[in-house]
Amino acid sequence: MTGEPVAASPAAEAFIARARAKEARIGIIGLGYVGLPLARAACQAGFRVLGFDIDPAKVAQLNAGGSYIRQIEPAAIAAIVGRGLFAATADFDRLGEVDAILVCVPTPLGRHREPDLSFIEGTAGAIAPRLRAGQLVVLESTTYPGTTRDVMRPILESSGLRSGKDFFLAYSPEREDPGNAEFGTAAIPRVVGGDGPEALAMAAALYGEIVPQVVPVSSPETAEAVKLTENIFRSVNIALMNELKVVYAAMGIDIWEVIEAAKSKPFGFMPFYPGPGLGGHCIPIDPFYLTWKAREHEISTRFIELAGEVNASMPGYVVERLAAALDRQRGRGLNGARILILGVAYKKNVDDQRESPGLRLIELLEARGVIVGYHDPWIPEIRPTRDHPRLTGRRSLDLSADVVRFQDAVLVVTDHDAVDYKLVAGHARLVVDTRNVFGRLGLSGAAVVKA
């Protein structure tokens, strides 16, 4: 780590020594798509981890050596449980047993795109009465600059302990990329900002034993801004490609061919790809945390909001492309058509349906009189969501030649690897491909339309 902070207080120095010796015990609150991979990485680095979650079923499954996240094999959990490195609990009174508390809870948006910090506030409220001197608390949840100091710190200090004196507070944004086999938790550098130099030094020392590089920054606010900047960068560039897709399609130009040629330039261009809309818990949501905070300073974020509008319009664009293709094929549009959607996960090779454009597309199509089924090898059944409650319980269809032939069209929304695209190409009357997976596999033909 470059520019490693130096701790001054005896408490900070003692913590750092314990962290470097792997003697510090880590508590992780929230064992979802961020917290569970982090727990595994910390255990694999040699730390003992106590995981906290409010769902007793998850706790029981983990303690039995199981896993509810498909990217994490049950064998990996069983191994760290068997070695005595990991245990899960719903008993927050056990927070006193750990030296560091890492908070990995959701930060959704409200109905009007305002930040919902209820999980952060509730977690800080649960920590405060159990907080003890010398502990390090690190927030990892994505949020707007100022949350760590302005929201978390006052709640934690209601315990009577003071940040930087009795306990130590920092922010280190999660950088998970579910489904990315090349960059797992333990391979991704960590940005850390502390509420004071001791907190920074402690957090840097802890993460430095888990990941290959720690990047210290001057404040929690800077670290919070780093995370937002990373996700806004992706949102804006994907929106640009989505807009160009629409423009070039009107001109008869293939956006995917354009991108493949453009990325041959060794400088000044980075490939991003269009799609049916954004999904997941980060890219569609995080930019609006900054938009909301900017209003407090009477600053508009037109670029960010425009990108959000472009990306949010993509499901509607896909529906119109599908309607036009069906009209050419059948002589009539969507009403009464049978459509099979391939993929309702928000991205390939993950079992995460949060904010998935696939769910929005099902509702848009059914509103137009379409009979919709879906196939997704990662999501056998649609789980409850706030925005799409009536889709709860829908089940994935088996992918067979008979099922494909029965459809008027197959709509590719998520390009999972574990799908037999050759079977689809061989039996589908029409394929509308929003991911160019058929083009990549050399399966393009007259029956394949890009959208």
Q: What is the pLDDT along the chain (451 residues), one digit of tens a residue?
A: 444 555 578 899 999 999 999 999 999 999 999 999 999 999 999 999 999 999 999 999 999 999 999 889 999 999 999 999 999 999 999 999 999 999 999 998 777 677 889 999 999 999 999 999 999 999 999 999 999 999 999 999 999 999 999 999 999 999 987 777 778 888 899 999 999 999 999 999 999 999 999 999 999 999 999 999 999 999 999 999 999 999 999 999 999 999 999 999 999 999 999 999 988 666 677 787 888 888 888 898 898 889 999 999 999 999 999 999 999 887 778 999 999 999 999 999 999 998 899 999 999 999 999 999 999 999 999 999 988 999 999 999 999 999 999 999 999 999 999 999 999 999 999 999 999 999 999 998 779 999 9
Smallest CA-to-CA distance from 344 within 272, 273, 396, 390 is with 396
Distance CA 85, CA 42 (A): 9
CA atoms of 50 and 59, how far apart (whole Å):
11
The pLDDT value recorded for residue 444 is 80
- Here the tokens at position 372 are 């919709």
What does the pLDDT read at residue 180?
76
> Cα separation of 21 and 398, whole Å?
51
Three-class SS of 79-123: HHHHCCCEEEECCHHHHHHCCEEEECCCCCECCCCCECCHHHHHH
167 has which bridge partners? 163
Supply the pLDDT for residue 4.
56
436 vs 54: CA distance, rounded Å: 40
Question: Of all residues in the chain, what percent are helix, strand and coil, respectively (each to 5)?
Answer: 40, 15, 45
**95 within 8 A of 127, measured Cβ to Cβ:** yes
Domain 10-218 falls in which CATH fold? Rossmann fold (3.40.50)
Q: What local confidence, expressed as pLDDT, does residue 7 receive?
A: 56
Cα dihedral sign, 432-437-440-442: negative
Q: Which amino acid is it at 41?
A: A
pLDDT of the residue at 66: 96
Structure tokens at 379: 């999501």
CB atoms inside a 10 Å sphere around CB 373: 16
Please tell me the predicted confidence (pLDDT) of residue 1.
42
Q: Which residues are catalytic?
A: 282
Strand partners, 449: 432
**How confident is the model at residue 281, as a pLDDT?**
67
The domain limits of the chain are 10-218, 238-450
Q: Which of 282, 227, 233 is nearest to 107 (CA)?
A: 282
| Element (DSSP H or E) covering residue 216 | strand 214-217
Q: Which CATH number fits domain 238-450: 3.40.50.720, 3.40.50.620, 3.90.330.10, 2.40.50.110?
A: 3.40.50.720
Q: What pLDDT does residue 391 have?
A: 96
Fold match flag (10-218 vs 238-450): yes
